[in-house]
Amino acid sequence: MSRPKVVVNARERIVSLRRSIADAVSYGPLKVVARDYGISPREVSTLRTQLGMPGVPIFLEIARRNPALRAQVIAMLSGEGEAASPEAINEIVRRT
């Protein structure tokens, strides 16, 4: 049984966001980046390896400071491409 296309696209967007966040926090030493964003060096390391996602306040701060990530978030929020249904989002959250 194949997965709905919306779920696949939403999952791809999450993977893309994780990559963009990793790129955004890879500009310097762990301690410098951690200090800049007010998070621990361990959290920076987790973001760099794409094993986790930051909380909303940190995510917004990273997006505010990084033009590429900000553009990606704006595109997702403005509905460019296919929008994910609430069911698809719930499915992704359940599987991640």
b (16+ CB within 10 A) / e for 75-85: ebeeeeeeebe
Q: What is the pLDDT of residue 48?
A: 93
Return d(Cα 14, Cα 69) in angstroms, integer. Answer: 12
Choose between 34 and 95: higher pLDDT. Answer: 34
Residues with Cβ within 8 Å of 9's Cβ and at least 6 positions away in sequence, in order, are 81, 82, 84
Residues 70-95: what's their mean pLDDT?
67
Calculate the alpha carbon distances from 38 to 7, 28, 51, 88 in Å: 33, 15, 19, 32
Which residues, including other chains, have CB under 8 Å from residue 90's CB and lie 6 or more apart? Answer: none
